[in-house]
A and B are shown apart, each in its own frame.
Chain A
Amino acid sequence: MKVAVLKGGRSLERGVSLRSGARVEDALERLGHEVLPIDVGPDLVKRLGAERPDVAFVAMHGVGGEDGTVQELLEILGIPFTGPGAAACARCMDKVQAKDAIDEAGLPTPEWFAFNQTAFREFGAADALGRLEETLGFPLVVKPSRGGSSLGVKFARSPGEVPQALVSAFSYDDRVLLERFVDGRELAVSILGDEPLPVVEAILLEGDRYDFEARYEIGRTRFACPAELTAEEERAVTETALATYRALGCTGFARIDLILGESGPWLLEANAIPGLTDTSLLPQAAEAAGLSFEQLVERILDLALRPAAA
């Protein structure tokens, strides 16, 4: 089969995407497929038109490749592709949209308020900050609505830190959200087809639990898979994740990130195209389920070609 691997592009996560892509290409070759690696650029449509691959493996992260843009093009070109469709990708990429959908489905997600720059620049939204801070409490989390790999995510510990955190978050997107901080265990549930894979837990290695930035530094966090959960916890977590996956309209695969607090799971976000590098969580979860990386890639292709097989 001729498989186009779409990777790279101009997003801030280009580096991770190239690594995901290279690993997928290796696996596809070993599986005996004809591989067409494409570093996505202005010639994408022309190349796809000329090469007519049987299927496109989308190994792109961030804006452009994970937000439905490339997926929309592939839908128009009639080329089957891996991962969620254009609409689901767009919903997952935008944390505000995703939280709206999650909330509407009656699933738990930490309380939040979203603003775009215009609200601050033209309508004096800054004057509402005090009240929001009272509602959300401290610390609170400030995030760009669209952005991956935790770039621009800041924790404000006091009112004085909020404006600075907003400036950082606005560096990545025009819209940001302020979210209540929920304390608990950090979990990720990868879903393949309609099957939740074993839960991964991110465990902080050093620093105290309020050293928030440490969570995002590779090397300061250890990942445990499967996470040590009671049967009850595990059921609650995977059911919530699966319900989220469906509420967002995902197909193929996705990774759902959540916090397991005292009262149960809280949904943070969904990643339509989680990383596939050798340190990424989806491959780790697949491996814990007994799937080799090749088997994972083959299964993802299957799901793209025969959605009904899910």
Chain B
Amino acid sequence: MSIRHTSGMTEVPEPTHRRRSHAGTRDLERYAGLFAERTSVMRSSAMRDLMAITARPEVISLAGGLPDTSTFPPQSFAAQMTRIAQESAAKALQYGPTEGFEETKDCILEVMGAEGMLPDPDDIIVTTGGQQAIDLVCKTLLDPGDVVICEAPTYPGAIPTLCSYQADVVQVECDERGMQVELLEQLLAELREEGRRVKFIYSVPSFQNPAGVSMSLERRRRLVELARAQELLVVEDNPYGLLRYGGEPMPPLYQLDGGDFVIYLGTFSKILSPGIRLGWAVAPPPVMEKIVLGKQAADLCTSTLTQYFVREYFAERRWQSYVGDLVEIYRGRRDTMVEALRTHFPAEATWTEPEGGLFIWATLPDYIDTGDLLAKALRADVAFVPGQAAYVDGRGSHSMRLNFSGVNDEEIHEGVRRIGKVIAEQVELYGTLTGEHRVPEPEQESTPNVVPFRKAGEVG
């Protein structure tokens, strides 16, 4: 074993393995008895392995959900970090309060104010990204077996979190006006009859990931009424509200409700940078108290350094114009993608034309399984997210999520063209197999995937 000599420090034996080496051969058995029961619901599949190859450099990936960070001015980044180093180094490198700095909360108030919300700063907690906010809400509210109601399709990244808290996830179909709140009412009544306990309703009401649709004002009103009447919480996840490319702004659920039965989740990821991992949650004081305890146990506090960065960045008073720049870029990319879909996708396909956000949800004829299609698409060097990732029960297999924010116009065109080509091959093959060359349906207004409503537990 070689010894690394470092002056003034204790001699440290140099690590001999570049990688963790396995403790023994009975790897799985050795640990199997130690795993928590919740790990058994964390499933893996061949399809997940397939997603591993989307990272190949030659693949045009419409599978991501990445904002475009290339337009953020490096000079501005450098200036802010320099200022922090010169003026606040010791503080910026120190722990901070669990709830987050007041100054960060001021920035959050500005962002929320831009959508007409004015929460009490004491109701806010700064989190390590919006994802931690989801995790903390689950940690605070869920016992194993509790029912959580989500949209169908729902944010794919919420599913592993909900599952790891052993929630019983029930999904309510969306149409072009978001979650069908009428169906939700019906479902709540059924669940009550069955004696099942609903803890919260998780929704991305504006420019939803993955469907790209927004909940109508009427449904928003009805949803918060329902929550109030039945004393249920609605968890409103709103990462995209300010990324609006058309239509009229819609009041967030938090604003309609006044914050009594709505927990609001926000993030700087889509309006500034996902790399700084800064998000937040707003909750009624008794709930917030528990969330803070959960946060303390999880990571003590959110990165002080990046909170300083946000403070400096907001002090420049240019954050809204930067969001404006992003909106311009993304609007162009959305238009490019919609145009590419019209050109390259078969007439039988439908897709959403979102007025904001980062995603388009496309639905193909029911004889095409988008998981299998992905294998074919990867051979053509293009990737998307198969729709099943947005469901807990195997549905969604004829749909796909396409991202337009993290790719340029040329990549969007070429990527959609490649996907269109593999779909066309399957459509033609199906026609040959059934002997009926399906007559393309007349061009109709695109609507999101509308599937008949089903109860939880029914797998189709």
Are A121 and B25 in contact, CB atoms less than 8 angstroms apart? no
- Residue in B17, B25, B43, B53 whose Cβ sees the most chain A Cβ within 10 Å: B25
Question: Which of the residues A12, A126, A294 comes within 8 Å of B50, measured between beta carbons?
Answer: A12
- Interface flag for B10 (CB, 8 Å): no
B387 CB, min distance to chain A CBs, angstroms: 15
A1 CB, min distance to chain B CBs, angstroms: 19
- Interface flag for B56 (CB, 8 Å): yes
- Indicate with 1 or 0, residue by residue over B359-382, a CB within 8 angstroms of chain A CB atoms: 000000011110011011010000
Docked CA distance A129–B432 (Å): 12
Are A126 and B435 in contact, CB atoms less than 8 angstroms apart? yes
Which of A14-22, A103-111, A182-190, A255-263 lies at the binding interface? A14-22
- Interface flag for A163 (CB, 8 Å): yes
Question: Which of the residues B43, B56, B429 comes within 8 Å of A218, measured between beta carbons?
Answer: B43
Q: Which residues of A contact B376 (CB under 8 A)?
A: 171-172
- Interface flag for B28 (CB, 8 Å): yes
- Interface flag for B21 (CB, 8 Å): yes
Docked CA distance A149–B45 (Å): 10
B24 CB, min distance to chain A CBs, angstroms: 8
Contacts A171-B376, A217-B45 known; A121 to B432 CB distance under 8 Å? Answer: yes
Classify chain B's interface size: 35 or more
Shortest Cβ distance from B17 into A: residue: A29
Are B367 and A13 in contact, CB atoms less than 8 angstroms apart? no
Interface size on A, residues (CB 8 A): 46
Q: Which residues of B contact A168 (CB under 8 A)?
A: 369, 372
Q: Which residues of B contact A166 (CB under 8 A)?
A: 429, 433
Shortest Cβ distance from A172 into B: residue: B375
Are A12 and B375 in contact, CB atoms less than 8 angstroms apart? yes
- Indicate with 1 or 0, residue by residue over A161-191, a CB within 8 angstroms of chain B CB atoms: 0111011111110000000000000000000
Q: Which residues of B contact A25 (CB under 8 A)?
A: 19
The number of A-B residue pairs with CB atoms under 8 Å apart is 108
Q: Which residues of B contact A279 (CB under 8 A)?
A: 28
Contacts A14-B52, A14-B53, A16-B49 known; A171 to B426 CB distance under 8 Å? Answer: yes
- Interface flag for A292 (CB, 8 Å): yes
A222 CB, min distance to chain B CBs, angstroms: 11
Are B43 and A149 in contact, CB atoms less than 8 angstroms apart? no
- Interface flag for A245 (CB, 8 Å): no
- Interface flag for B321 (CB, 8 Å): no
Docked CA distance A26–B21 (Å): 6
- Interface flag for B44 (CB, 8 Å): yes
- Interface flag for A57 (CB, 8 Å): no
A266 CB, min distance to chain B CBs, angstroms: 23
Q: Which residues of A contact B394 (CB under 8 A)?
A: 213
A132 CB, min distance to chain B CBs, angstroms: 13
Are A219 and B46 in contact, CB atoms less than 8 angstroms apart? no
Within 8 A of A (CB), among B1-43: 17, 19, 21-22, 24-28, 40-43
Within 8 A of B (CB), among A115-148: 117, 120-121, 126-127, 129
Contacts A23-B22, A167-B368, A217-B45 known; A278 to B433 CB distance under 8 Å? Answer: no
Docked CA distance A25–B17 (Å): 11
Are A126 and B433 in contact, CB atoms less than 8 angstroms apart? yes
Docked CA distance A217–B40 (Å): 12
Are A149 and B46 in contact, CB atoms less than 8 angstroms apart? yes
Docked CA distance A121–B45 (Å): 32
Contacts A22-B19, A213-B394 known; A12 to B53 CB distance under 8 Å? Answer: yes
A202 CB, min distance to chain B CBs, angstroms: 14
Shortest Cβ distance from A120 into B: residue: B432
Shortest Cβ distance from B42 into A: residue: A219
- Residue in B21, B48, B378, B434 whose Cβ sees the most chain A Cβ within 10 Å: B434
Q: Which residues of B contact A30 (CB under 8 A)?
A: 21
Contacts A279-B28, A287-B26 known; A10 to B53 CB distance under 8 Å? Answer: yes
Name 12 A/B residue pairs within 8 A (Cβ), A-sorted. A10-B53, A27-B22, A120-B433, A149-B46, A164-B367, A164-B369, A166-B433, A167-B368, A168-B369, A170-B426, A279-B28, A287-B26
List the 10 closest pairs (A to B, CB-CB), nearest first: A15-B49, A15-B52, A292-B25, A163-B433, A171-B372, A164-B367, A168-B372, A293-B25, A171-B376, A278-B27
Besides A126-B434, A218-B43, 6 new A-B residue pairs in contact (Cβ under 8 A), listed by A number:
A12-B50, A22-B19, A26-B22, A151-B375, A168-B372, A220-B43
